[in-house]
Amino acid sequence: MFKSRNDASLEVRSSVRGGTGDANFLHIWKKDAELNSNMRLYAKIILKPGDSIGYHVHEGEDELYYILAGRAETDDNGVMRELLPGDSTLTRSGEGHSIKALGPENLELLATIVRHS
């Protein structure tokens, strides 16, 4: 199955998980309509400088972040890290994380959430 970049749908969420500012979710494949039932999210997320997704814990699912552009600060279960393009994180079920855009550029990342069966 093919999808054009023009077929993605934009969703703007404010204060995601208690974070600051807006998170722009560009849904590449749509939950329920196109993804298998074990996939909850496959989207490019864009955060403006200083905006963030707040700390949260995943239960019964794993989340992957892959940094496409910009700089990020993550809290990975209490361990703070700076991420650059090409870096990736995996948050497993029972673990928590947050992410914040650093510097003068937008942070762009690919996010995938896979539910456990």
| Residue 2 within any structural domain of the chain | no
The pLDDT tens digits of the residues spanning 52-66 come to 999 999 999 999 999
Total domains, the chain: 1
Q: Are 82 and 73 in contact (CB under 8 A)?
A: yes
Average pLDDT, the chain: 97
Q: Tokens 């994380």 identify what position?
A: 97
Say how many residues make up the chain: 117
CA atoms within 13 A on the CB side of 80: 3
Query: For the domain that residue 92 is a member of, what is the CATH number?
Result: 2.60.120.10
Which residues on neighbouring strands pair with residue 25, listed in sequence order? Answer: 11, 45
1 falls within a domain? no
> Residues 109, 101: contact at Cβ < 8 Å?
no
pLDDT tens digits along 10-31: 999 999 999 999 999 999 999 9
**Structural domain range at position 94:** 7-115
d(CA 85, CA 9) in angstroms, rounded, equals 23
Helices (H), the chain: none
pLDDT of residue 117: 80
Burial of 64: CB neighbours in 10 Å, binned 0-12, 13-18, 19+: middle
